[in-house]
Structure 1
Amino acid sequence: MNVSISGHHISVTEAMDTAVREKLEKVERHFDQIQSIKVILSLDNSGASDGGKKSHKAEAIMRVSGQEMFVQALEDDMYKAINEMADKLDRQVRKYKTRQERKKTQGAGRDERYQDTTPAEAVPAA
C-alpha cells in the first residue's frame, strides 16, 4: 500500500506521520486490496476571521480497484482529526467490502424466490 502524507499551511511532523500510518494500518487489516492512500493534513482558518477557533482538517483519498473513497474530518486538535478520519475511512472500507462480498454471493443468476413461476391454482389436480 502506497501512503503519501502532505501538509497544507502546516508542516507535517514525525509524530503526525507516525500517527497517520498507525491509524491506517487498521484500515489495511480490514481490506488488503488498497492501491494507494493520499492524506492531506491542513489548518483551516476559515472560521478564524469571525472569532471562531482555528480548525485542523485531515483528508484522505483512497484508491481501490475501480473506485476512489474520500473522507474528511474537522477537529480542534490535529490528532483528533486524524483519528476521526481513519475511523471514517475504516467504515467506508468495511461497507465497500460488504457490498463486494454480497455481489459475489448473489451472482448473476436469479434469486431462488423466482424459480417456480407457476401459481398454485394453475396446476391441474390429478
Structure 2
Amino acid sequence: MNERASREEKLELGVELLAHLEREELSLSAAVDRIETVTTSPALTRDILDAAEKRGVIERENARLRIQRGGTHVNYDTQVVRREGEFECRRCGAPVSTGHFVQLDAGELGPFGSSCIRKVTGRDDDE
C-alpha cells in the first residue's frame, strides 16, 4: 500500500485484513495494532471497525472482537510475497532486508519483517 492510498482504499484494506485474521477472537487493542499497519488515523480506524461490523466481518463485545470470516486466512504460499531490498517494517519500524507483503483483493499491505507478518495476520499471538 502506498502512502497516497485514498481513504476508501485504506478502509477496504483494513476491513479485508480483519476478515483474514487467523485468530477467531482478539482484543480491541490487538485489532487496532493490526489496523495501524493501514492507517494511524483514529477516525479511519473507527470507520474500519464500524464497516467491518456492519458487513458481518467482526462482532464486537466490550473490548473484544470475534472474527466472522468463514475460514478465509491469508495463504502464505499465494498471498504473501517476499522481496529483497531495504525496507522499514510497517508494523514495528525496524529495518528489514526481506520485506513480506500481503496481497489482498483490496490491495497490497507491507512491507513487514518475518515476525511482524505473522503477528499482523494473526498467525502468532501477541496478546
Mark yes or no: TM-score above 0.5: no
TM-score normalised by the shorter chain: which range applies? under 0.3
In our comparison, the structure showing a higher alpha carbon Rg is 1
TM-score by length of 1: 0.24
Query: Which has the higher relative contact order, 1 or 2, with Cα contacts under 8 A spaced 6 or more apart?
Result: 2
